[in-house]
């Protein structure tokens, strides 16, 4: 299996698992910077990782990212609807 490396040297196996990439980056930032990092740090890290991916791997990870984002969007939307419904139910009591 092909691997890539974060700027801190952490090895990430490329198996289509977006969460594994996010977790590796998060752990590196926590070890190196605690909570003292910004958008530019994150952008540089992902540019570094993207530069190591083939076009096919980029497509795989983009698809996985879109699916994860869609699931999160739908979950947040359903939570908001449930909260609204619960508030309406409380008003009727």
How many CB atoms lie under 10 A from the CB of residue 25? 22
Which pTM was predicted?
Answer: 0.78
Kindly write down the DSSP assignment for every residue of 54-80, as one continuous string. -HHHHHHHHHHHHHHHHHHHHHHHHHH
Portion of the chain with pLDDT greater than 90, in percent:
87
Q: What's the pLDDT tens digit per position in 8-39? A: 999 999 999 999 999 999 999 999 999 899 99
The rounded distance, in Å, linking the Cα atoms of 39 and 50 is: 16
Q: How many CA atoms lie within 13 A of 70 on its CB side?
A: 6
- CA dihedral defined by 54, 29, 23, 41, rounded to 10 degrees? -40
pLDDT score recorded for residue 1: 81
Q: What's the pLDDT tens digit per position in 50-65? A: 999 999 999 999 999 9
Tell how far CA 63 is from the center of its chain. Answer: 12
Q: Taking residues 78-93, what's their average pLDDT?
A: 83
Work out the mean pLDDT of the chain and round it to a whole number.
93
- Is 70 exceeded by the pLDDT of residue 84? yes
What is the residue whose two structure tokens read 């083939």?
Answer: 54
């Amino acid at each position: 299996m092909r691997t890539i490396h974060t700027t801190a040297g952490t090895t990430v196996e490329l198996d289509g698992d977006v969460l594994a990439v996010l977790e590796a980056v998060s752990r590196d930032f926590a070890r190196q910077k605690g909570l003292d990092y910004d958008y530019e740090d994150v952008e540089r890290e992902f540019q570094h990782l993207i530069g190591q991916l083939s076009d096919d791997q980029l497509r795989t990870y983009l698809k996985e990212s879109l699916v994860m984002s869609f699931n999160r969007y739908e979950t947040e939307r359903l939570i908001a609807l449930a909260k609204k419904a619960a508030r309406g139910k409380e008003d009727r009591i």
